[in-house]
Homo-oligomer: A and B are copies of this chain.
Amino acid sequence: MPVTIKDVAKRLKLSVTTVSRALDGYDDVAAKTRERVIRVASEMGYAPSRAARQLRRQKTEAIGYIMPTIKPRFADPFFSEFIAGIGDEAASRNFDLVVSLAPPGEEAERAVYQRWVQGRRVDGIVLSRMRVNDWRVRYLSDSKFPFVAFGRTQLPIDFPHVGVDGESGMRELVAHLIERGHRRIAFVSAPADLTLQVDRMSGYRSGLAAGGIPVDESLIVEGNLTRDGGHHAAQQLLSLAKSPTAIIGANDLTAIGVMRAAHERGLIIGRDLAVAGFDGIESAEHTHPPLTTLNQPVYDIGRQLIHMLITVIEEGTLAERQIMLKPELLIRASTGG
């Protein structure tokens, strides 16, 4: 039986009102009384009931994040870094982070968002892995529910987000490969409904165009942002009659899968085949050879997003609503560096 404010009041022979105010630091409480209250409350191990406080104050001091997972399992290090970022910042502002998982686009996903929004489960929501036409943005925006996102959409809706310029990043990467002498540069893409795919793909295309290389559609294969997806796609690419000399993965996981397929064929990466990714996950530093990639500061972006979200929650507005970062091209040995 946890101790309630009533217990504390009874013990002190004070009203709950006074105890409550003393604990919340109101200044219309005698200094001596406040002192007594604080001492006894802490002695008794009193902590206010979150539920009661939430009900009364009509806020939860919690932020929600729903990980877009593919069953039955899932482990993109991208997410552990993102969670570390949003979790750290939330914790330092005394907000709880409520996490759930749901497969993107399905009914279950919608159900979780609705439960949280309608049930006032959290004060705000963080979105990631944005889709081109993202129902979550429409829904949250229509519901006037505070949210921020990692990435854009193509909807005509203005919302606070932090984006990473995948297009210019990819263009830079392609230029780098062309400069290294590559002409047959393949791309293992992400699912087409993701914004990051649209951006990265268009950077890939315009990068080739800038180098005067026509796009060969047979060098574009769809992956799914996982190692297996990359592995599978690379097998296909490497059995082409005119196989590529360089393969870009839509993310690092994909690129790591590509490397694996190349190893299996006895190719030496960095010499026989160039490989590059996107994300800058830590394990990309430790592949063999280390992976060239476009680094995005996921941890810091997470913190930044929470900062923005809490501002929206508390102030109702936000000055700088859109932030666009440039990914940093990290040239490593996988592209013959």
Interface of A with B (CB < 8 Å)?
Answer: 2-3, 45-52, 54-55, 60, 62, 67, 69, 71, 73-77, 79-81, 83-84, 87-88, 90-91, 96-102, 112, 114-115, 117-121, 227, 256, 259-260, 263, 282-283, 286-289, 299
Q: In the bound complex, do residue B283 and residue A118 qualify as a contact, i.e. CB atoms below 8 Å apart?
A: no
| Complex contacts, A259 vs chain B, CB 8 Å | 286
Q: In the bound complex, do residue A47 and residue B101 qualify as a contact, i.e. CB atoms below 8 Å apart?
A: no
Q: What is the CA–CA distance of A62 and B99 in the complex, to the nearest angstrom?
A: 10
Q: In the bound complex, do residue B120 and residue A100 qualify as a contact, i.e. CB atoms below 8 Å apart?
A: no
Smallest Cβ distance from A121 to chain B, in angstroms?
A: 5
Among A49, A80, A121, the one with the most B-chain Cβ atoms within 10 Å of its Cβ is: A80
Q: In the bound complex, do residue A99 and residue B119 qualify as a contact, i.e. CB atoms below 8 Å apart?
A: no
Q: In the bound complex, do residue B99 and residue A97 qualify as a contact, i.e. CB atoms below 8 Å apart?
A: yes
Among A48, A88, A260, the one with the most B-chain Cβ atoms within 10 Å of its Cβ is: A88
Q: What is the CA–CA distance of A290 and B87 in the complex, to the nearest angstrom?
A: 32
| Complex contacts, A62 vs chain B, CB 8 Å | 98
Q: In the bound complex, do residue A50 and residue B119 qualify as a contact, i.e. CB atoms below 8 Å apart?
A: yes
Q: What is the CA–CA distance of A289 and B263 in the complex, to the nearest angstrom?
A: 10
Q: What is the CA–CA distance of A214 and B76 in the complex, to the nearest angstrom?
A: 41
Among A3, A49, A101, A121, the one with the most B-chain Cβ atoms within 10 Å of its Cβ is: A101
Q: In the bound complex, do residue B84 and residue A69 qualify as a contact, i.e. CB atoms below 8 Å apart?
A: yes
Smallest Cβ distance from A96 to chain B, in angstroms?
A: 5
Q: What is the CA–CA distance of A84 and B115 in the complex, to the nearest angstrom?
A: 20
| Complex contacts, A102 vs chain B, CB 8 Å | 91
Q: In the bound complex, do residue A100 and residue B100 qualify as a contact, i.e. CB atoms below 8 Å apart?
A: no
Q: What is the CA–CA distance of A176 and B74 in the complex, to the nearest angstrom?
A: 31
Question: Lowest 5 A-B CB distances belong to which pairs?
Answer: A288-B288, A47-B118, A80-B80, A51-B54, A283-B283
Partner of A80, one of B49, B50, B75, B118: B75
Q: In the bound complex, do residue B48 and residue A119 qualify as a contact, i.e. CB atoms below 8 Å apart?
A: yes
Q: In the bound complex, do residue B73 and residue A299 qualify as a contact, i.e. CB atoms below 8 Å apart?
A: yes
